[in-house]
């Protein structure tokens, strides 16, 4: 969001009171942000959000493995959502393609990207039709692909995925007509496909939300003043710039608590929804383990889909050791919405 502390001070002067600026700038943390463009000719292998991935020629679009507890997952939604999830899982439909990150571009940013591979691409996939009701590794797929760009090709949308995308569009149009709402934007995305947007990664500095690992480390003597400053920043600046919420690395911008807490709890207790007693009994270990986890990617669903009446954020979280060992199969996806 900011190029430097001086840039932050200059930009925030139009929005925040001077004491709030001091508090926010004091705890800025490095991350990788994105500048989005509307160019239609996105080069093969280049960074993008939405659209279709560039895969090795002949490679299949990935699909999530069947869950052993499909009925339990479907039961977490209301009747309509549950029915849609049962159908989706029974058809073994593909992941939605979220983003493709050119690691050569991020490596050029210097120290901020030191924990990432320096060659190839990271491809992010997510089961957006089920993920809001399931936390873990099954609903996420992150691929580190080092195929030479000359051997890549834009993946064709699988026929069953195209059919579901068309069905969702028809259903949205019918609902809008039934309730006399504006018709949905035909250029907007669905749970399966989103418009392609070219994205350029850049080194940035982001403010530290209080409800994160980094926020928890702020001295108690400053927490009240920092809370006020951050809220002033959030409602005055960040809420008006949703694309700023898409980022690699750095502290997450939670809609609830730090998603690394959730990922650490799932990893430690091997269950998605620990009871309050289990949280209390394991809180110290969960907090310690969360500090050893990394926000790999944060994706704003509304921005990805380019649609109104959509909300939520998907967080791809990985352990520091797993990132060092390039175990992207261990990425945990956490979905939050207010």
Judged against a pLDDT cut of 80, whether residue 40 lies above it is answered with no
Among 12-16, 58-62, 187-191, the minimum mean pLDDT is found in 12-16
Tell me which DSSP letter residue 182 carries: P
Q: Determine the Cα–Cα distance for residues 82 and 71; give it in Å rounded to an integer.
A: 9
- Identify the pLDDT of residue 3: 87
- Mean pLDDT of the region 274-297: 95
What are the backbone angles phi and psi of residue 88, rounded to the nearest 5°? Answer: -60, -50
The average pLDDT across 208-227 equals 91
pLDDT > 90 in the chain, percent? 79
Q: What is the reported pLDDT for 311? A: 92
| Span 168-201, pLDDT tens digits | 999 999 998 999 888 889 999 999 999 999 999 9
How crowded is residue 210: how many other Cβ atoms within 10 Å of its Cβ?
A: 18
Residue 16 has pLDDT above 90, yes or no: no
Dump pLDDT digits (tens) for 79-117.
999 999 999 999 999 999 999 999 999 999 999 999 999
Helix (H, G, I), strand (E, B) or coil at 295: strand
In angstroms, the CA 299 to CA 98 distance is 8
3-state secondary structure of 78: coil
Under the banding of pLDDT at 50, 70 and 90, the label for residue 66 is: very high
Which residue would you say has higher pLDDT here, 40 or 213? 213
Q: Is the pLDDT of residue 38 over 80?
A: no
> Closest Cα to residue 199, out of 32, 36, 1?
36
| Residues sharing a CB contact under 8 Å with residue 171, sequence separation 6 or more, in sequence order | none
Task: Tell me what the pLDDT averaged over the chain comes to.
Answer: 94
What is the pLDDT at residue 51?
Answer: 96
pLDDT of 242:
74
Round to whole Å and give the CA distance between 273 and 127: 19
The predicted pLDDT at position 48 comes to 96
pLDDT at site 317:
98
Per cent of the chain over pLDDT 70 is: 100
- What pLDDT does 263 receive? 97
> Which tokens in the block code for residue 8?
């932050």
pLDDT confidence of residue 250: 97
Q: Which fold has domain 5-336?
A: Hypothetical protein YwqG fold (2.30.320)
Confidence of residue 328 (pLDDT cuts 50, 70, 90): very high
120-156 pLDDT, tens per residue? 999 999 999 999 999 999 999 999 999 999 999 999 9
**pLDDT attached to residue 237:** 83
């Amino acid at each position: 969001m900011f190029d430097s502390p001086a840039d932050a001070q200059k930009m925030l002067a139009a929005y925040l009171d001077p004491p709030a600026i001091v508090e926010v700038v004091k705890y800025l943390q490095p991350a990788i942000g994105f500048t989005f463009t509307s160019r239609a000719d996105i080069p093969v292998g280049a960074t993008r959000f939405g659209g279709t991935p560039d895969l090795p020629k002949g490679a299949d679009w990935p699909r999530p493995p069947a869950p052993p507890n499909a009925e339990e997952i479907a039961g977490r939604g209301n009747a309509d959502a549950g029915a849609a999830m049962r159908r989706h899982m029974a058809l073994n439909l593909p992941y939605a393609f979220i983003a493709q990150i050119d690691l050569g571009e991020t490596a050029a940013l210097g120290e901020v990207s030191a924990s990432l591979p320096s060659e190839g691409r990271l491809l992010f996939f997510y089961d957006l039709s089920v993920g809001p009701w399931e936390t873990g590794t099954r609903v996420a797929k992150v691929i580190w692909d080092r195929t030479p760009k000359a051997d890549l090709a834009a993946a064709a949308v699988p026929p069953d995925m195209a059919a579901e995308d068309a069905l969702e569009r028809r259903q949205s149009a019918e609902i809008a007509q039934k309730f006399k709402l504006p018709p949905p934007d035909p250029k907007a995305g669905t749970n399966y496909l989103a418009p392609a947007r070219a994205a350029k990664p850049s080194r940035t500095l982001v403010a530290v939300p209080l409800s994160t690992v980094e926020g928890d480390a702020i001295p108690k003597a400053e927490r009240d003043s920092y809370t006020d400053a951050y809220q002033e920043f959030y409602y005055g600046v960040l809420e008006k710039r949703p694309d700023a919420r898409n980022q690699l690395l750095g502290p997450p911008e939670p809609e609830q608590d730090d998603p690394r807490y959730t990922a650490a709890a799932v990893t430690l207790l091997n269950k998605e929804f620990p009871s309050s007693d289990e949280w209390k009994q394991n809180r110290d270990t969960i907090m310690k383990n969360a500090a050893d986890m990394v926000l790999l990617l944060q994706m704003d669903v509304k921005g990805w889909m380019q649609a109104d009446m959509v909300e939520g954020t998907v967080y791809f979280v990985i352990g520091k050791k797993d990132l060092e060992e390039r175990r992207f199969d261990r990425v945990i996806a956490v979905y939050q919405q207010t």
